Chains A and B, each alone.
Chain A
Amino acid sequence: DVKVTQSSRYLVKRTGEKVFLECVQDMDHENMFWYRQDPGLGLRLIYFSYDVKMKEKGDIPEGYSVSREKKERFSLILESASTNQTSMYLCASSPRRLNEKLFFGSGTQLSVL
């Protein structure tokens, strides 16, 4: 089975801190995605990547950046965390083909105090 692993299940940070969320997949998938999930808003796409060192902005990229130095790893970076970035963050991966489903990690609940 495909495994998408997010490094932390729960994370508590202070405003202004730089935060790294890590995601690793073990199935050689080309595509990787970062979403945030908020009640009543569903999943909103932050960034996605279709290849190593490539990245594309999603619908809500402000305040975030990403890094993909290796195919299996996709990192989300909050340069200066703010309270409105408190959320559940979900990483996903999929093969290059458009019609394939996404495989999700178990999520990181980030609280910014």
Chain B
Amino acid sequence: AQSVTQLDSQVPVFEEAPVELRCNYSSSVSVYLFWYVQYPNQGLQLLLKYLSGSTLVKGINGFEAEFNKSQTSFHLRKPSVHISDTAEYFCAVSGFATGGFKTIFGAGTRLFVKA
């Protein structure tokens, strides 16, 4: 079975400050890891994904994430946030399941960027 835990439900931060959104996962099989973002009143879109290779993954809008296998974590970071980064962020894992593969999401982290 797979599960995803996002450790913070809300993260308030001032503009131009750094931010880290934490994600831990568990799985009995190999998985692929994703971060998606949902801006207010919009659909989900992919920020970045980790498949293999380098543990530091760069995504869109200046975000990056680091895969840590020993800690089963995939934390999302940005060195300097903008007001426009205010959104909900979802960590997700994809792995094989009965009949195919499935993607499981965490509960989400709401990022509030304040001026």
Number of residues on chain A facing chain B (CB within 8 A): 26
Instruction: Give 1 or 0 for each of A27-52: 1 = CB within 8 Å of chain B CB.
Output: 00001010100001111110010100
Q: Collect the chain B residues with CB atoms within 8 Å of residue A45's CB.
A: 102-105
Q: Collect the chain B residues with CB atoms within 8 Å of residue A44's CB.
A: 105
A50 to B51 Cα, complex, angstroms? 21
Chain B, interface residues (CB within 8 Å), range: 20 to 34
The segment from A10-18, A63-71, A72-80, A99-107 that touches chain B is: A99-107
Instruction: Give 1 or 0 for each of B55-87: 1 = CB within 8 Å of chain A CB.
Output: 000000000000000000000000000000000
Instruction: Give 1 or 0 for each of A47-60: 1 = CB within 8 Å of chain B CB.
Output: 01010001010110
28 pairs, A vs B, C-beta closer than 8 Å? A31-B100, A33-B103, A40-B108, A42-B6, A42-B106, A42-B107, A43-B90, A43-B105, A44-B105, A45-B104, A45-B105, A50-B100, A50-B101, A54-B99, A56-B97, A56-B99, A56-B100, A90-B43, A98-B101, A99-B51, A99-B94, A101-B46, A102-B36, A102-B103, A104-B44, A104-B45, A105-B43, A106-B43
> A-B pairs with the 6 shortest C-beta distances?
A50-B100, A42-B107, A56-B99, A43-B105, A101-B46, A42-B108
